[in-house]
Chains A and B, each alone.
Chain A
Protein backbone atom coordinates (compact mmCIF):
# COMPACT_ATOMS: atom_id res chain seq x y z
CA UNK A 1 0.00 0.00 0.00
CA UNK A 2 1.37 3.39 -0.91
CA UNK A 3 2.22 5.29 2.25
CA UNK A 4 2.69 2.27 4.48
CA UNK A 5 6.45 2.87 4.51
CA UNK A 6 5.92 6.41 5.69
CA UNK A 7 3.54 5.28 8.45
CA UNK A 8 6.04 2.65 9.55
CA UNK A 9 8.72 5.35 9.75
CA UNK A 10 6.43 7.61 11.75
CA UNK A 11 5.86 4.78 14.20
CA UNK A 12 9.64 4.56 14.69
CA UNK A 13 9.97 8.28 15.40
CA UNK A 14 6.97 8.16 17.76
CA UNK A 15 8.54 5.26 19.63
CA UNK A 16 11.81 7.12 19.99
CA UNK A 17 10.11 10.36 21.01
CA UNK A 18 7.87 8.79 23.65
CA UNK A 19 10.60 6.34 24.71
CA UNK A 20 12.90 9.17 25.66
CA UNK A 21 10.48 10.10 28.47
CA UNK A 22 10.59 6.83 30.34
CA UNK A 23 13.65 4.95 29.11
CA UNK A 24 16.92 6.61 30.22
CA UNK A 25 18.84 4.65 27.56
CA UNK A 26 16.87 6.45 24.85
CA UNK A 27 17.53 9.89 26.35
CA UNK A 28 21.18 10.28 25.44
CA UNK A 29 21.68 14.03 25.89
CA UNK A 30 24.07 15.21 28.61
CA UNK A 31 23.31 18.71 29.84
CA UNK A 32 26.82 20.16 29.60
CA UNK A 33 28.15 22.26 31.39
CA UNK A 34 25.84 21.53 34.33
CA UNK A 35 26.48 17.80 33.92
CA UNK A 36 29.80 16.50 32.76
CA UNK A 37 30.52 13.12 31.31
CA UNK A 38 33.08 11.04 33.09
CA UNK A 39 36.23 10.96 31.02
CA UNK A 40 37.67 7.58 30.13
CA UNK A 41 41.02 6.90 31.72
CA UNK A 42 42.78 6.87 28.35
CA UNK A 43 41.45 10.31 27.38
CA UNK A 44 44.26 12.60 26.29
CA UNK A 45 44.41 16.28 25.62
CA UNK A 46 47.71 18.16 25.93
CA UNK A 47 51.00 17.03 27.45
CA UNK A 48 52.27 17.97 30.90
CA UNK A 49 55.61 17.42 32.66
CA UNK A 50 55.75 15.09 35.65
CA UNK A 51 57.49 16.29 38.80
CA UNK A 52 58.38 14.06 41.71
CA UNK A 53 57.80 16.59 44.45
CA UNK A 54 54.93 19.07 44.43
CA UNK A 55 56.70 21.48 46.81
CA UNK A 56 59.69 21.89 44.48
CA UNK A 57 58.29 21.32 40.98
CA UNK A 58 61.17 22.90 39.05
CA UNK A 59 63.83 21.05 41.05
CA UNK A 60 62.28 17.61 40.63
CA UNK A 61 61.25 17.50 36.99
CA UNK A 62 61.76 14.03 35.54
CA UNK A 63 62.74 15.64 32.25
CA UNK A 64 66.48 15.61 31.54
CA UNK A 65 66.22 17.72 28.38
CA UNK A 66 67.24 14.88 26.05
CA UNK A 67 65.17 16.53 23.29
CA UNK A 68 63.86 13.24 21.86
CA UNK A 69 60.25 14.48 22.08
CA UNK A 70 61.26 17.75 20.45
CA UNK A 71 62.69 15.82 17.50
CA UNK A 72 59.85 13.31 17.22
CA UNK A 73 56.93 15.74 17.64
CA UNK A 74 55.15 15.67 14.23
CA UNK A 75 53.90 19.29 14.25
CA UNK A 76 57.09 20.51 16.00
CA UNK A 77 55.33 22.25 18.88
CA UNK A 78 57.91 21.51 21.61
CA UNK A 79 60.85 23.81 22.31
CA UNK A 80 63.56 22.80 24.78
CA UNK A 81 66.70 24.54 25.91
CA UNK A 82 69.19 22.50 27.92
CA UNK A 83 70.93 23.66 31.05
CA UNK A 84 74.69 24.26 30.98
CA UNK A 85 75.07 22.90 34.53
CA UNK A 86 73.74 19.79 36.24
CA UNK A 87 71.39 19.63 39.19
CA UNK A 88 70.52 16.67 41.42
CA UNK A 89 67.17 15.15 40.46
CA UNK A 90 64.66 13.51 42.81
CA UNK A 91 67.04 10.55 43.29
CA UNK A 92 69.97 12.83 44.05
CA UNK A 93 71.65 12.03 40.78
CA UNK A 94 73.26 14.87 38.82
CA UNK A 95 71.29 15.52 35.63
CA UNK A 96 70.97 18.09 32.92
CA UNK A 97 67.60 19.83 33.18
CA UNK A 98 65.51 21.94 30.81
CA UNK A 99 66.03 25.68 31.29
CA UNK A 100 63.21 26.28 28.82
CA UNK A 101 60.51 23.74 28.05
CA UNK A 102 57.65 25.23 26.07
CA UNK A 103 54.72 23.62 24.27
CA UNK A 104 52.67 25.63 21.83
CA UNK A 105 49.22 24.19 22.44
CA UNK A 106 47.83 26.05 19.43
CA UNK A 107 50.04 23.78 17.31
CA UNK A 108 49.91 20.57 19.37
CA UNK A 109 47.61 17.93 17.89
CA UNK A 110 47.41 15.72 21.00
CA UNK A 111 48.88 12.71 19.24
CA UNK A 112 50.74 11.35 22.28
CA UNK A 113 53.92 10.56 20.34
CA UNK A 114 56.02 12.60 22.81
CA UNK A 115 54.71 10.36 25.60
CA UNK A 116 55.51 7.19 23.70
CA UNK A 117 59.07 8.13 22.79
CA UNK A 118 60.06 9.57 26.18
CA UNK A 119 62.55 7.13 27.82
CA UNK A 120 62.21 8.82 31.24
CA UNK A 121 58.40 8.83 31.67
CA UNK A 122 58.74 12.58 32.09
CA UNK A 123 55.96 13.78 29.78
CA UNK A 124 52.38 12.51 30.00
CA UNK A 125 49.00 13.51 28.61
CA UNK A 126 46.73 15.80 30.61
CA UNK A 127 42.93 15.70 30.71
CA UNK A 128 42.04 19.36 31.27
CA UNK A 129 39.81 20.44 28.40
CA UNK A 130 38.16 23.69 29.49
CA UNK A 131 41.10 25.82 28.41
CA UNK A 132 39.52 28.32 26.05
CA UNK A 133 41.18 31.71 26.14
CA UNK A 134 40.78 35.04 24.36
CA UNK A 135 44.52 35.37 23.72
CA UNK A 136 45.69 33.42 20.70
CA UNK A 137 49.42 33.73 21.33
CA UNK A 138 51.00 33.92 24.81
CA UNK A 139 48.18 32.20 26.66
CA UNK A 140 48.50 29.12 24.45
CA UNK A 141 52.29 28.91 24.70
CA UNK A 142 52.81 26.98 27.92
CA UNK A 143 56.18 27.22 29.68
CA UNK A 144 57.68 24.63 32.03
CA UNK A 145 56.17 26.23 35.14
CA UNK A 146 52.68 25.86 33.66
CA UNK A 147 53.38 22.39 32.32
CA UNK A 148 54.81 20.91 35.53
CA UNK A 149 52.34 18.82 37.51
CA UNK A 150 53.06 16.43 40.38
CA UNK A 151 53.13 12.66 40.06
CA UNK A 152 50.08 12.47 42.39
CA UNK A 153 48.08 14.30 39.75
CA UNK A 154 49.23 11.77 37.16
CA UNK A 155 47.98 9.04 39.50
CA UNK A 156 44.62 10.78 39.71
CA UNK A 157 44.00 11.02 35.97
CA UNK A 158 45.67 7.85 34.64
CA UNK A 159 45.77 5.48 37.66
CA UNK A 160 46.65 2.31 35.72
CA UNK A 161 49.40 3.86 33.64
CA UNK A 162 50.83 5.75 36.63
CA UNK A 163 51.02 2.59 38.71
CA UNK A 164 52.87 0.81 35.89
CA UNK A 165 55.29 3.71 35.50
CA UNK A 166 55.99 3.89 39.25
CA UNK A 167 56.62 0.15 39.43
CA UNK A 168 58.99 0.34 36.48
CA UNK A 169 60.89 3.32 37.88
CA UNK A 170 61.17 1.67 41.31
CA UNK A 171 62.55 -1.52 39.73
CA UNK A 172 65.05 0.53 37.72
CA UNK A 173 66.15 2.42 40.82
CA UNK A 174 66.57 -0.81 42.78
CA UNK A 175 68.59 -2.40 40.01
CA UNK A 176 70.81 0.67 39.84
CA UNK A 177 71.35 0.64 43.60
CA UNK A 178 72.23 -3.05 43.59
CA UNK A 179 74.62 -2.54 40.74
CA UNK A 180 76.29 0.33 42.56
CA UNK A 181 76.49 -1.78 45.73
CA UNK A 182 77.95 -4.73 43.81
CA UNK A 183 80.48 -2.43 42.15
CA UNK A 184 81.47 -0.96 45.52
CA UNK A 185 81.79 -4.45 47.03
CA UNK A 186 83.94 -5.61 44.13
CA UNK A 187 86.14 -2.55 44.54
CA UNK A 188 86.52 -3.17 48.27
CA UNK A 189 87.35 -6.84 47.71
CA UNK A 190 90.13 -6.11 45.25
CA UNK A 191 91.93 -3.04 46.55
CA UNK A 192 95.30 -4.05 45.16
CA UNK A 193 94.15 -4.49 41.63
CA UNK A 194 95.08 -1.60 39.36
CA UNK A 195 92.30 0.59 38.01
CA UNK A 196 90.51 -0.72 34.92
CA UNK A 197 92.13 -0.01 31.62
CA UNK A 198 91.59 3.65 30.81
CA UNK A 199 91.07 2.80 27.12
CA UNK A 200 87.60 1.48 27.76
CA UNK A 201 86.54 4.50 29.74
CA UNK A 202 85.71 7.05 27.02
CA UNK A 203 83.34 4.59 25.39
CA UNK A 204 81.35 4.20 28.61
CA UNK A 205 81.16 7.85 29.55
CA UNK A 206 78.41 9.45 27.47
CA UNK A 207 79.20 12.61 25.55
CA UNK A 208 78.21 15.73 27.50
CA UNK A 209 75.12 16.35 25.38
CA UNK A 210 73.72 12.82 25.50
CA UNK A 211 70.90 11.98 27.91
CA UNK A 212 71.86 10.10 31.01
CA UNK A 213 69.45 7.43 32.02
CA UNK A 214 68.60 7.03 35.68
CA UNK A 215 67.88 3.39 35.00
CA UNK A 216 70.05 0.32 34.60
CA UNK A 217 71.89 1.87 31.65
CA UNK A 218 73.70 4.21 34.04
Chain B
Protein backbone atom coordinates (compact mmCIF):
# COMPACT_ATOMS: atom_id res chain seq x y z
CA UNK B 1 0.00 0.00 0.00
CA UNK B 2 1.30 3.44 -0.85
CA UNK B 3 2.11 5.96 1.79
CA UNK B 4 -0.33 8.86 1.48
CA UNK B 5 0.60 10.57 4.70
CA UNK B 6 1.05 14.35 4.48
CA UNK B 7 4.77 13.89 4.93
CA UNK B 8 5.02 11.48 1.98
CA UNK B 9 7.10 12.08 -1.12
CA UNK B 10 5.64 14.42 -3.75
CA UNK B 11 6.60 12.40 -6.79
CA UNK B 12 7.46 8.72 -6.84
CA UNK B 13 7.47 5.75 -9.18
CA UNK B 14 5.01 2.99 -8.38
CA UNK B 15 4.47 -0.35 -10.07
CA UNK B 16 1.03 -1.71 -10.89
CA UNK B 17 0.66 -5.22 -12.28
CA UNK B 18 -2.02 -4.12 -14.77
CA UNK B 19 -0.59 -0.79 -15.89
CA UNK B 20 3.11 -1.36 -15.46
CA UNK B 21 5.20 1.60 -14.38
CA UNK B 22 3.18 4.50 -13.04
CA UNK B 23 4.02 7.82 -11.50
CA UNK B 24 2.41 9.03 -8.33
CA UNK B 25 2.25 12.81 -8.02
CA UNK B 26 1.04 14.77 -5.05
CA UNK B 27 -0.83 17.87 -6.25
CA UNK B 28 -1.20 20.35 -3.46
CA UNK B 29 -1.79 21.27 -0.70
CA UNK B 30 -0.15 24.50 -1.84
CA UNK B 31 -0.91 24.26 -5.51
CA UNK B 32 -2.71 27.38 -6.74
CA UNK B 33 -5.31 25.33 -8.61
CA UNK B 34 -6.55 23.57 -5.49
CA UNK B 35 -8.67 26.52 -4.26
CA UNK B 36 -7.14 26.47 -0.84
CA UNK B 37 -5.24 23.80 0.98
CA UNK B 38 -6.42 20.64 -0.72
CA UNK B 39 -4.30 17.79 -1.96
CA UNK B 40 -4.91 15.31 -4.73
CA UNK B 41 -2.65 12.28 -4.90
CA UNK B 42 -2.88 11.32 -8.55
CA UNK B 43 -1.41 8.15 -10.02
CA UNK B 44 -0.51 8.72 -13.64
CA UNK B 45 -0.12 6.43 -16.58
CA UNK B 46 1.72 8.77 -18.91
CA UNK B 47 -0.47 11.82 -18.55
CA UNK B 48 -3.71 9.93 -17.85
CA UNK B 49 -5.07 9.63 -14.35
CA UNK B 50 -5.62 6.02 -13.24
CA UNK B 51 -6.20 6.78 -9.60
CA UNK B 52 -6.96 9.88 -7.60
CA UNK B 53 -7.11 10.19 -3.87
CA UNK B 54 -8.29 13.44 -2.33
CA UNK B 55 -6.57 14.35 0.92
CA UNK B 56 -8.16 17.10 2.96
CA UNK B 57 -8.44 18.34 6.51
CA UNK B 58 -5.63 20.87 6.37
CA UNK B 59 -8.09 23.60 7.30
CA UNK B 60 -9.94 21.65 9.97
CA UNK B 61 -10.92 23.99 12.80
CA UNK B 62 -13.27 21.87 14.88
CA UNK B 63 -16.30 23.80 13.70
CA UNK B 64 -18.91 21.32 14.90
CA UNK B 65 -17.37 20.84 18.33
CA UNK B 66 -17.06 24.61 18.71
CA UNK B 67 -20.76 24.81 17.91
CA UNK B 68 -21.51 22.49 20.82
CA UNK B 69 -19.42 24.66 23.11
CA UNK B 70 -20.89 28.07 22.29
CA UNK B 71 -24.41 29.39 22.59
CA UNK B 72 -26.83 29.21 19.66
CA UNK B 73 -26.17 32.85 18.85
CA UNK B 74 -22.42 32.39 19.25
CA UNK B 75 -22.33 29.88 16.40
CA UNK B 76 -23.79 32.37 13.95
CA UNK B 77 -20.50 34.20 13.21
CA UNK B 78 -18.75 30.85 12.91
CA UNK B 79 -21.11 29.83 10.11
CA UNK B 80 -19.79 32.83 8.13
CA UNK B 81 -16.46 31.06 8.10
CA UNK B 82 -17.71 27.80 6.62
CA UNK B 83 -18.10 28.80 3.01
CA UNK B 84 -16.64 32.25 3.23
CA UNK B 85 -18.00 33.32 -0.15
CA UNK B 86 -21.60 32.66 0.91
CA UNK B 87 -21.90 33.82 4.49
CA UNK B 88 -25.45 35.09 3.97
CA UNK B 89 -26.81 31.69 2.89
CA UNK B 90 -24.87 29.88 5.64
CA UNK B 91 -26.42 32.28 8.16
CA UNK B 92 -29.85 31.66 6.72
CA UNK B 93 -29.54 27.85 6.80
CA UNK B 94 -28.43 27.96 10.42
CA UNK B 95 -31.20 30.40 11.33
CA UNK B 96 -33.75 28.08 9.66
CA UNK B 97 -32.53 25.15 11.76
CA UNK B 98 -32.68 27.09 15.03
CA UNK B 99 -36.05 28.63 14.18
CA UNK B 100 -37.41 25.14 13.55
CA UNK B 101 -35.99 23.99 16.86
CA UNK B 102 -37.42 26.92 18.80
CA UNK B 103 -40.66 27.22 16.83
CA UNK B 104 -39.99 30.84 15.89
CA UNK B 105 -41.76 32.50 12.99
CA UNK B 106 -40.11 35.07 10.76
CA UNK B 107 -41.81 38.32 9.66
CA UNK B 108 -42.61 38.62 5.99
CA UNK B 109 -40.23 41.52 5.39
CA UNK B 110 -37.35 39.51 6.84
CA UNK B 111 -38.20 36.58 4.56
CA UNK B 112 -38.02 38.90 1.55
CA UNK B 113 -34.74 40.40 2.72
CA UNK B 114 -33.35 36.90 3.19
CA UNK B 115 -34.31 35.98 -0.36
CA UNK B 116 -32.73 39.19 -1.69
CA UNK B 117 -29.48 38.51 0.15
CA UNK B 118 -29.42 34.81 -0.76
CA UNK B 119 -29.87 35.60 -4.45
CA UNK B 120 -27.17 38.28 -4.29
CA UNK B 121 -24.94 35.64 -2.70
CA UNK B 122 -25.78 33.27 -5.54
CA UNK B 123 -24.78 35.92 -8.09
CA UNK B 124 -21.57 36.54 -6.19
CA UNK B 125 -20.67 32.87 -5.83
CA UNK B 126 -21.44 31.88 -9.40
CA UNK B 127 -19.64 34.91 -10.81
CA UNK B 128 -16.54 34.05 -8.79
CA UNK B 129 -16.78 30.39 -9.74
CA UNK B 130 -16.90 31.20 -13.44
CA UNK B 131 -13.88 33.47 -13.01
CA UNK B 132 -11.92 30.85 -11.09
CA UNK B 133 -12.84 28.13 -13.55
CA UNK B 134 -11.45 30.19 -16.42
CA UNK B 135 -8.34 30.85 -14.36
CA UNK B 136 -7.98 27.06 -13.97
CA UNK B 137 -8.40 26.65 -17.72
CA UNK B 138 -5.35 28.83 -18.15
CA UNK B 139 -7.25 31.95 -19.13
CA UNK B 140 -5.16 33.99 -16.76
CA UNK B 141 -6.57 37.10 -15.22
CA UNK B 142 -9.12 38.74 -17.45
CA UNK B 143 -12.34 36.79 -16.70
CA UNK B 144 -11.41 36.52 -13.04
CA UNK B 145 -10.83 40.26 -12.81
CA UNK B 146 -14.15 41.00 -14.52
CA UNK B 147 -15.84 38.62 -12.10
CA UNK B 148 -14.16 40.21 -9.11
CA UNK B 149 -15.11 43.68 -10.30
CA UNK B 150 -18.79 42.69 -10.09
CA UNK B 151 -18.29 40.74 -6.90
CA UNK B 152 -16.87 43.82 -5.24
CA UNK B 153 -20.07 45.72 -5.96
CA UNK B 154 -22.12 43.04 -4.21
CA UNK B 155 -19.66 42.96 -1.32
CA UNK B 156 -20.00 46.75 -0.97
CA UNK B 157 -23.73 46.22 -0.57
CA UNK B 158 -23.16 43.56 2.07
CA UNK B 159 -20.69 45.78 3.86
CA UNK B 160 -22.97 48.77 4.06
CA UNK B 161 -25.80 46.59 5.35
CA UNK B 162 -24.07 44.22 7.75
CA UNK B 163 -20.78 45.99 8.48
CA UNK B 164 -18.53 43.36 6.95
CA UNK B 165 -17.83 42.34 3.38
CA UNK B 166 -17.58 38.61 3.83
CA UNK B 167 -18.20 37.78 7.50
CA UNK B 168 -21.67 39.27 7.48
CA UNK B 169 -23.17 37.68 10.62
CA UNK B 170 -26.46 39.19 9.53
CA UNK B 171 -29.31 36.73 10.10
CA UNK B 172 -30.79 36.27 13.53
CA UNK B 173 -33.24 33.73 14.90
CA UNK B 174 -36.62 35.19 14.04
CA UNK B 175 -35.49 37.79 11.54
CA UNK B 176 -32.53 39.88 10.45
CA UNK B 177 -30.20 42.10 12.44
CA UNK B 178 -30.63 45.36 10.54
CA UNK B 179 -33.53 46.66 8.50
CA UNK B 180 -32.23 47.61 5.04
CA UNK B 181 -32.81 51.34 4.57
CA UNK B 182 -34.40 52.76 1.43
CA UNK B 183 -31.11 53.99 -0.05
CA UNK B 184 -29.62 50.52 0.33
CA UNK B 185 -32.57 49.01 -1.53
CA UNK B 186 -32.13 51.61 -4.26
CA UNK B 187 -28.46 50.67 -4.61
CA UNK B 188 -29.39 46.98 -4.75
CA UNK B 189 -31.93 47.78 -7.45
CA UNK B 190 -29.27 49.61 -9.50
CA UNK B 191 -26.92 46.66 -9.20
CA UNK B 192 -29.59 44.15 -10.17
CA UNK B 193 -30.65 46.29 -13.14
CA UNK B 194 -27.08 46.37 -14.40
CA UNK B 195 -26.28 42.72 -13.80
CA UNK B 196 -27.85 41.38 -16.97
CA UNK B 197 -25.55 43.65 -19.00
CA UNK B 198 -22.56 42.25 -17.15
CA UNK B 199 -23.73 38.68 -17.77
CA UNK B 200 -24.13 39.44 -21.46
CA UNK B 201 -20.60 40.80 -21.55
CA UNK B 202 -19.23 37.87 -19.58
CA UNK B 203 -20.96 35.39 -21.86
CA UNK B 204 -19.72 37.19 -24.98
CA UNK B 205 -16.24 36.74 -23.57
CA UNK B 206 -16.54 33.05 -22.68
CA UNK B 207 -19.61 31.06 -23.63
CA UNK B 208 -18.97 30.93 -27.37
CA UNK B 209 -15.21 30.89 -27.06
CA UNK B 210 -13.87 27.92 -29.04
CA UNK B 211 -10.93 27.37 -26.71
CA UNK B 212 -13.20 27.24 -23.67
CA UNK B 213 -15.50 24.81 -25.46
CA UNK B 214 -12.65 22.57 -26.59
CA UNK B 215 -11.23 22.60 -23.12
CA UNK B 216 -14.42 21.92 -21.13
CA UNK B 217 -16.89 19.99 -23.28
CA UNK B 218 -16.90 16.25 -22.65
CA UNK B 219 -14.51 16.66 -19.73
CA UNK B 220 -15.37 15.38 -16.27
CA UNK B 221 -18.71 13.83 -17.16
CA UNK B 222 -20.90 12.83 -14.24
CA UNK B 223 -23.88 10.57 -14.80
CA UNK B 224 -27.19 11.41 -13.19
CA UNK B 225 -27.29 8.03 -11.43
CA UNK B 226 -23.86 8.56 -9.90
CA UNK B 227 -24.69 12.11 -8.85
CA UNK B 228 -27.90 11.03 -7.13
CA UNK B 229 -26.36 8.03 -5.40
CA UNK B 230 -23.45 10.12 -4.12
CA UNK B 231 -25.76 12.80 -2.74
CA UNK B 232 -24.46 15.53 -5.02
CA UNK B 233 -26.61 18.67 -4.87
CA UNK B 234 -26.69 22.12 -6.38
CA UNK B 235 -25.60 23.15 -9.88
CA UNK B 236 -23.36 20.08 -10.19
CA UNK B 237 -26.43 17.83 -9.85
CA UNK B 238 -28.63 19.94 -12.11
CA UNK B 239 -25.93 19.89 -14.80
CA UNK B 240 -26.58 16.15 -15.08
CA UNK B 241 -30.26 16.80 -15.82
CA UNK B 242 -31.81 16.03 -12.42
CA UNK B 243 -34.41 18.64 -11.53
CA UNK B 244 -33.74 19.05 -7.84
CA UNK B 245 -33.74 22.57 -6.46
CA UNK B 246 -34.76 23.02 -2.82
CA UNK B 247 -36.25 26.39 -3.69
CA UNK B 248 -38.83 24.40 -5.69
CA UNK B 249 -38.78 21.10 -3.76
CA UNK B 250 -39.12 22.53 -0.25
CA UNK B 251 -40.47 25.91 -1.27
CA UNK B 252 -38.98 27.41 1.88
CA UNK B 253 -39.29 31.07 2.80
CA UNK B 254 -41.24 33.06 0.24
CA UNK B 255 -39.77 31.33 -2.83
CA UNK B 256 -43.15 29.88 -3.97
CA UNK B 257 -44.29 33.47 -4.62
CA UNK B 258 -41.62 34.08 -7.24
CA UNK B 259 -41.68 33.02 -10.81
CA UNK B 260 -38.41 31.41 -11.86
CA UNK B 261 -37.14 28.40 -13.76
CA UNK B 262 -34.57 25.77 -12.81
CA UNK B 263 -32.01 25.38 -15.60
CA UNK B 264 -30.95 21.80 -16.33
CA UNK B 265 -27.94 20.41 -18.16
CA UNK B 266 -27.76 17.40 -20.43
CA UNK B 267 -24.19 16.07 -20.32
CA UNK B 268 -22.95 16.71 -16.81
CA UNK B 269 -19.57 17.88 -18.06
CA UNK B 270 -17.54 20.92 -17.03
CA UNK B 271 -19.12 23.12 -19.71
CA UNK B 272 -22.62 22.22 -18.51
CA UNK B 273 -21.68 23.05 -14.97
CA UNK B 274 -20.41 26.45 -16.14
CA UNK B 275 -23.48 27.05 -18.27
CA UNK B 276 -25.94 26.06 -15.52
CA UNK B 277 -24.41 28.66 -13.25
CA UNK B 278 -24.69 31.40 -15.85
CA UNK B 279 -28.34 30.51 -16.46
CA UNK B 280 -29.01 30.36 -12.71
CA UNK B 281 -27.59 33.85 -12.38
CA UNK B 282 -30.07 35.09 -14.97
CA UNK B 283 -32.91 33.47 -13.00
CA UNK B 284 -31.54 35.01 -9.80
CA UNK B 285 -31.68 38.45 -11.39
CA UNK B 286 -35.36 37.75 -12.14
CA UNK B 287 -36.04 36.67 -8.54
CA UNK B 288 -34.25 39.76 -7.24
CA UNK B 289 -36.37 42.04 -9.43
CA UNK B 290 -39.56 40.41 -8.11
CA UNK B 291 -38.38 40.44 -4.48
CA UNK B 292 -37.26 44.08 -4.58
CA UNK B 293 -40.53 45.10 -6.21
CA UNK B 294 -42.68 43.15 -3.74
CA UNK B 295 -40.75 43.91 -0.54
CA UNK B 296 -43.41 44.53 2.12
CA UNK B 297 -43.09 46.87 5.10
CA UNK B 298 -43.36 45.84 8.71
CA UNK B 299 -40.96 44.57 11.35
CA UNK B 300 -37.71 42.84 10.47
CA UNK B 301 -37.50 40.86 13.71
CA UNK B 302 -40.01 38.65 15.46
CA UNK B 303 -40.59 40.53 18.75
CA UNK B 304 -40.81 37.19 20.59
CA UNK B 305 -37.22 36.33 19.63
CA UNK B 306 -34.75 36.54 22.50
CA UNK B 307 -31.15 37.52 22.00
CA UNK B 308 -29.80 36.79 25.47
CA UNK B 309 -30.72 33.66 27.41
CA UNK B 310 -31.96 31.87 24.31
CA UNK B 311 -32.81 28.27 25.28
CA UNK B 312 -34.89 26.25 22.81
CA UNK B 313 -36.80 23.32 24.28
CA UNK B 314 -35.31 19.85 24.02
CA UNK B 315 -35.67 18.29 20.58
CA UNK B 316 -33.99 18.09 17.23
CA UNK B 317 -34.27 19.94 13.94
CA UNK B 318 -32.73 19.88 10.50
CA UNK B 319 -32.86 23.10 8.54
CA UNK B 320 -31.76 23.22 4.92
CA UNK B 321 -31.78 25.70 2.09
CA UNK B 322 -30.50 25.74 -1.46
CA UNK B 323 -27.15 27.43 -1.15
CA UNK B 324 -25.20 28.48 -4.23
CA UNK B 325 -23.11 25.30 -3.97
CA UNK B 326 -25.92 22.91 -3.09
CA UNK B 327 -27.96 21.85 -0.11
CA UNK B 328 -26.51 23.52 2.96
CA UNK B 329 -28.08 22.11 6.10
CA UNK B 330 -27.65 22.27 9.84
CA UNK B 331 -28.75 19.47 12.14
CA UNK B 332 -29.19 20.45 15.77
CA UNK B 333 -30.09 18.45 18.86
CA UNK B 334 -31.10 20.48 21.87
CA UNK B 335 -31.27 19.27 25.45
CA UNK B 336 -32.77 22.52 26.66
CA UNK B 337 -29.45 24.11 27.61
CA UNK B 338 -28.05 27.33 26.06
CA UNK B 339 -25.74 25.29 23.80
CA UNK B 340 -26.76 22.69 21.23
CA UNK B 341 -26.06 19.15 22.39
CA UNK B 342 -25.13 18.18 18.84
CA UNK B 343 -24.35 20.53 16.01
CA UNK B 344 -23.83 19.05 12.58
CA UNK B 345 -23.26 20.73 9.24
CA UNK B 346 -24.21 19.21 5.91
CA UNK B 347 -21.59 20.82 3.70
CA UNK B 348 -22.43 20.79 -0.02
CA UNK B 349 -18.81 21.34 -1.14
CA UNK B 350 -17.60 18.32 0.79
CA UNK B 351 -20.28 15.95 -0.46
CA UNK B 352 -19.93 17.16 -4.04
CA UNK B 353 -16.20 16.51 -3.77
CA UNK B 354 -16.62 12.80 -2.96
CA UNK B 355 -17.03 11.78 -6.60
CA UNK B 356 -13.96 13.69 -7.80
CA UNK B 357 -12.11 10.47 -8.65
CA UNK B 358 -15.00 9.14 -10.76
CA UNK B 359 -15.02 12.33 -12.81
CA UNK B 360 -11.25 12.50 -13.24
CA UNK B 361 -10.38 8.92 -14.25
CA UNK B 362 -8.97 8.72 -17.75
CA UNK B 363 -8.47 12.47 -18.04
CA UNK B 364 -5.18 14.36 -17.99
CA UNK B 365 -3.72 16.28 -15.06
CA UNK B 366 -4.69 19.58 -16.64
CA UNK B 367 -8.29 18.35 -16.90
CA UNK B 368 -8.31 17.29 -13.24
CA UNK B 369 -7.61 20.93 -12.39
CA UNK B 370 -10.67 22.24 -14.23
CA UNK B 371 -12.86 19.37 -13.01
CA UNK B 372 -12.00 20.31 -9.46
CA UNK B 373 -12.66 23.95 -10.34
CA UNK B 374 -16.08 23.14 -11.79
CA UNK B 375 -17.21 21.26 -8.65
CA UNK B 376 -17.00 24.58 -6.81
CA UNK B 377 -15.46 23.86 -3.46
CA UNK B 378 -14.45 26.14 -0.64
CA UNK B 379 -12.06 24.46 1.71
CA UNK B 380 -13.41 26.30 4.71
CA UNK B 381 -16.56 24.26 4.28
CA UNK B 382 -14.94 20.98 3.20
CA UNK B 383 -12.65 20.78 6.22
CA UNK B 384 -14.82 22.68 8.73
Contacts and interface: CB of A to CB of B under 8 A. Distances in A.
Interface of A: 2-6, 8-9, 11-13, 16, 28, 40-44, 68, 72-74, 109-113, 116-117, 125
25 contacts: A2-B210, A5-B207, A5-B208, A5-B210, A8-B208, A8-B209, A9-B206, A9-B208, A12-B204, A12-B205, A16-B146, A28-B149, A40-B160, A42-B160, A42-B178, A43-B163, A43-B164, A72-B71, A74-B70, A74-B78, A111-B76, A111-B77, A111-B167, A112-B163, A125-B163
Contacts of A73: 74
B74 A44 contact: no
- By secondary structure, the B interface counts as helix
A11 B205 CA distance: 8
Contacts of B167: 109-111
B77 A113 contact: yes
B266 interface: no
Interface in B258-315: 307-308
Given A13-B142, A72-B308, A6 B77 contact: no
A113 B74 contact: yes
Contacts of B161: 42
Counting chain A CB atoms within 10 Å of each CB, the highest count among B167, B177, B213 belongs to: B167
B201 interface: yes
A125 B308 CA distance: 19
A74 B77 contact: yes
Interface string B64-83: 00000011011111101000
B159 A113 contact: no
A112 B142 CA distance: 36
Given A74-B70, A111-B80, 11 more contacts: A5-B207, A9-B206, A9-B208, A16-B146, A40-B156, A44-B163, A72-B308, A110-B164, A111-B167, A117-B307, A117-B308
A13 B77 contact: no
B169 interface: yes
Counting chain A CB atoms within 10 Å of each CB, the highest count among B73, B76, B160, B163 belongs to: B163
Interface in B71-106: 71, 73-78, 80
Interface string B163-184: 1100101000000011000000
Contact of B160 (A3, A5, A41, A113): A41
Contact of A8 (B78, B164, B204): B204
Counting chain B CB atoms within 10 Å of each CB, the highest count among A4, A40, A109 belongs to: A40
Contact of A5 (B71, B77, B209): B209
A44 B167 CA distance: 11
Contacts of B149: 28
Given A16-B146, A72-B73, A113-B74, A6 B201 contact: no
A74 B162 CA distance: 18
Interface in B23-60: none
A44 B307 CA distance: 20
Contacts of B208: 4-5, 8-9
B159 A42 contact: yes
Interface in B221-274: none
Contacts of A13: 142, 205
Given A5-B210, A6-B209, A9-B206, A44 B164 contact: yes
A74 B146 contact: no
B14 interface: no
A40 B74 contact: no
B211 interface: yes
Contacts of B213: 5
Given A9-B204, A111-B169, A113-B73, A68 B160 contact: no
B152 A28 contact: yes
Nearest to B162: A42
A4 B162 CA distance: 44
Nearest to B200: A12
Contacts of A40: 156, 159-160, 163
Given A42-B178, A116-B307, A117-B308, A6 B162 contact: no
